[in-house]
Amino acid sequence: MANKIDEVQVRRVARLSRLDLTEAEVEEFTDQLSAILDYVEKMNELDTEGIEPLAHCLPISNVFRDDCIVESLGTEKTLANAPQRDGEFFKVPKILDEGSGA
């Protein structure tokens, strides 16, 4: 198997990614990345003429309901089971402190 990627390229990508690789890791990744490119090259040999690209390998259908306009519950029904309320709003405990910057 001829290396498609050399150690110089692996070191460059590692530097750009801010990775500190050992010499053993550089050798290992060089071999692994070359093997991946060999596999992709092997897949490119397949005849895919006339085959439509897929977004998903299984048939899928929309499981959402139709978007129909319906009457809302209204404020009183919506807030009927609220543990606490403040007028027309749900009242919830404060979760941010003064120094949070939010």
Enumerate domains of the chain plus CATH numbers: 7-44 (1.10.20)
pLDDT by residue (tens digit) across 25-71?
999 999 999 999 999 999 889 898 998 888 888 888 877 888 899 99
**Rounded CA separation 25/98 (Å):** 47
Asked if 10 and 33 count as a contact pair (C-beta separation under 8 A), the reply is: yes
| Strand pairing category for 85-86 and 89-90 | antiparallel
More confident residue, 39 or 2: 39
**Rounded CA separation 22/45 (Å):** 35
The secondary structure element, H or E, covering residue 40 is helix 23-44
User: pTM to 2 decimals?
Assistant: 0.47
Mean pLDDT within 7-12: 95
Statement: residue 98 has pLDDT above 80 = no
